[in-house]
Structure 1
Amino acid sequence: MLMYETAMTTKRPRDQAMGLRKIKQHRPVKVIAVTGGKGGVGKTNVAVNLSLSLAAAGNEVMLLDADFGLANVDVQLGLSPEYDLSHLISGERNLEEIIIQGPGGVKIIPASSGISRMADLSHQERAGIIHAFSELHCDVDYLVVDTSAGIADSVISFCKASHEVLVVVCDEPASITDAYALIKVLNREHGVNHFHVLANMVYSNRQGMDLYNKLSLAANHFLEASLSFLGIIPQDERLRQAVQKQKAVVALYPSSPSSSAFRKVAGNIEKWPGTQNASGQLEFFVERLIKSENELSRREP
C-alpha cells in the first residue's frame, strides 16, 4: 500500500506539470525586436536587461542575438558559448543544441562574433535559420530579438516578423536621424505601422520625452506610422559599472536607478495587448520571417 501511495504521489505532480505545459503551449509567444538606427545607442544592453526584467516577473523569456557578425549578448553577460549560430548554419548543431542558459533563467541563442561570414549570409542561409525555429520545442512567453543597427536586410526581416518593434534612441543628432530613417524604411517600404520608442542614457523624463517628440512629429507629418513612448533609461554610473563587469545591471545592482527603469519598462510591456494571430509557439514568427526573406529576395537584381 505504501508503495502504491508513493507512486501515486510522485505521479500526480508530473501529470499536473505536463498539463500545465500543454496549457501554456497554446499561449502565443510575443516577439519583440529591439533595434536602433545606429550603433552605440545601448541597444544590446536594453535587450539584455529587459529580458532579465521580464523573466524576473515570472515570464519564460528567450533572447535571440540577431546581430550576425558583431554579436554582443554573450559579451555583455560574460558568457562563452561553445556553439552559436555559425554551427547551425554549417549543420554541425541544431538550434536546441546551441541555446545556452543565461542569468535569471533567460534562454539565449548566441550569434557569432567577429566572423564576417555571418554578417553576409545568403537568403537561403537565413531561411535555414528561420526554418530551424519551427523545430524548437520549448515554452516561451517573450522572444526578444536583438537586431543589428541600421537598415540591413536582416534588420528589416526581423522587425517585419516581430509583433512589436522597439526603437532605442539617445540624445545625439545621428541617433535621431538614423532612427527616423529606419522607421521610414520599415513603414514606407515594408508596411510596419507602429513603433515603440525608448529613450536611453538620458538625464530626465523630460529629456526622453523631447527625443520622442522629435521622432513622433516627423513620423506624423511625413509617414503613415504611429509612435508610442515606452519610457526612459537614465544615465547611471551603476549601469556603466555593470557593463564593465560583463553583468546585467538588473542582476548586479537591482536597486540602481537604471534597474528600476528597466523593471518599469518591462511592466509596461506586459500591459501590451496579447497576440491573437499567433498559434503554437514560434510558428507565426517563423512564417513571417520566411515571407519577409522571400520578399527581400525577389527585390534583389
Structure 2
Amino acid sequence: MQNDSNKLPPKVLAISSGKGGVGKTNVVANVACALSRKGKKVLIFDADMGLNNIDILLGLASPYHIGHVFSGEKTIEDVLVDGPRGIKVLPASNGWQDLTRLDSDKKLLLMEEMDRISGDFDFLLFDTGAGISSNVTYFCSAAHDIVLIATTEPTSHTDVYALMKVLFQNHQQKRFRLIVNAVKNEREALEVYKRLSAVLDRFLGGVVLEYMGFIVHDPNVSKAVRQQKPFVELYPHSKVSQCIEMLTQRILKERNKIPTDSDQPFVWRSVLQI
C-alpha cells in the first residue's frame, strides 16, 4: 500500500459506550457507509478483539481475523474484508480470550501494522468493546476523538460516566463527544446530554463533553439488522438515515482538526501504552 506524504493522516475515531446493547456497532457501520458514499476511504477496525460483531452485522465472511496478524500467519492486507460502499473491515476474532487483553508485544505489532497501512485511508473507526477493560481504554486513548454512544436508559448514563471517569483519571483524556441513540426527537437527546454534563461538572471537573448529535428510534434499524445490511443503504430516505447524514456532515467538517506532526504519522505513536 502506498503512502502519499502530502496526504493528511486518517482521522481516527473511537466509538465506545461503556454499556452493550446501545447500538454502537450499528452507528459505526452506517457512519462508515455514509462517509464512503461521499468519496472517503474508510477502515473499520472491530476493536472488540475477542468477539467479532461488525462483520456479522454487515453480512461479511472472512477466513482470517486480527488474531492471524498477531500470530504472524497473515498481514493486515490478508485479513481486510471488503464491505459495502467500498469500506474496509478489519475483523476481530470470535472467542479468542487471549486477545481480550493485549500485551506489549501485540500493541507494538498493531501500531506498526496500522502505521504501515494508514496512508490509504481518510478515516479509521475503532468499534470498541463495551465496558472499561484495558483494550477499550487503549483504543479510546489511541484516537483523535472519543465518541460515546448513550441511550435514554439510566444504566447507559452510568456506564458512559464510568468510562469517562476511567479515561480521565487513568489515561488523562479530558474531551469526549456524545451521540444519543434511539430517541424520539432531539429534545430527548439534549436532556440526556444535559444530565450527563451536570454529573461531570459535579464530580469530574475539567472533563468536557460535547454534544455531537442524535439518532431517532426507527423500526427500519431492526429490519436492516435482520438483513445484515446498513440501514443507510436499504432505507436512505428514512429519518434514522437523515440523522446519520447530519452526523457525517459534522465529522467531515472537522476532518482537518488532527495533528500534522510529520514525526507522528499515526496517532498511536504518542499514546502507545506498553
The TM-score normalised by the length of structure 1 is: 0.85
More divergent stretch after superposition (235-244 vs 222-231): 222-231
- Aligned pair partner of 1:262 in 232, 244, 263: 244
**Corresponding residue number in structure 1 for 2:265:** 283
Aligned AA for 1:99?
A: L
How big is each residue's C-alpha offset from its partner over 1:236-273, in whole Å with a ceiling of 9 and x where there is no partner? 11111001111110111111111111111111111226
Q: Percent identity?
A: 35
**Corresponding residue number in structure 1 for 2:92:** 111
How big is each residue's C-alpha offset from its partner over 1:202-250, in whole Å with a ceiling of 9 and x where there is no partner? 1111111111111111112222111111111111111110011111101
Q: Secondary structure at the match of 1:91?
A: coil
**Corresponding residue number in structure 2 for 1:219:** 200
Q: Conserved in 2, the CA contact under 8 Å of 1:44 and 1:72?
A: yes
Return closer, same or farther for 1:256/1:158 CA change in 2, 3 Å cut-off.
same
Give the drift of 1:114. 2.5
Gaps of 5+ in 2: none
More helix as a share of residues: 1
Q: Conserved in 1, the CA contact under 8 Å of 2:9 and 2:119?
A: no
Please report the RMSD computed on the Cα atoms of aligned residues, expressed in angstroms. Answer: 1.9
Aligned equivalents of 1:85, 1:279: Cα separation in 2: 28
**Corresponding residue number in structure 1 for 2:229:** 247
**Corresponding residue number in structure 1 for 2:60:** 79
**Corresponding residue number in structure 2 for 1:56:** 37
Give the drift of 1:22. 3.6
Q: Secondary structure at the match of 1:254?
A: coil
Aligned length: 272
Q: Secondary structure at the match of 1:232?
A: strand
Q: 5 Å matches for 1:1-301?
A: 22=4, 25-136=6-117, 138-223=119-204, 224-272=206-254, 274-279=256-261, 283-290=265-272, 293-294=273-274
Q: Conserved in 1, the CA contact under 8 Å of 2:175 and 2:207?
A: yes
Return closer, same or farther for 1:77/1:279 CA change in 2, 3 Å cut-off.
farther
Return closer, same or farther for 1:34/1:226 CA change in 2, 3 Å cut-off.
same
Gaps of 5+ in 1: 1-17, 295-301
Give the drift of 1:276. 4.6
Give the drift of 1:116. 2.1
More divergent stretch after superposition (265-274 vs 234-243): 265-274
Aligned equivalents of 1:115, 1:200: Cα separation in 2: 30
Give the drift of 1:138. 4.4
Q: Conserved in 1, the CA contact under 8 Å of 2:130 and 2:136?
A: yes
How big is each residue's C-alpha offset from its partner over 1:111-136, in whole Å with a ceiling of 9 and x where there is no partner? 11222232243232233222221222
Q: Secondary structure at the match of 2:202?
A: helix
> Highest Rg: 1 or 2?
1
Aligned equivalents of 1:150, 1:70: Cα separation in 2: 13
Aligned equivalents of 1:95, 1:262: Cα separation in 2: 29
How big is each residue's C-alpha offset from its partner over 1:152-181, in whole Å with a ceiling of 9 and x where there is no partner? 111111111100010000111110001001
Aligned AA for 2:253?
A: K
Aligned equivalents of 2:68, 2:160: Cα separation in 1: 32
Return closer, same or farther for 1:187/1:100 CA change in 2, 3 Å cut-off.
same
Q: Conserved in 2, the CA contact under 8 Å of 1:95 and 1:132?
A: yes
The TM-score normalised by the length of structure 2 is: 0.93
More divergent stretch after superposition (228-237 vs 184-193): 184-193
Aligned equivalents of 1:86, 1:270: Cα separation in 2: 32
Q: Secondary structure at the match of 2:267?
A: helix
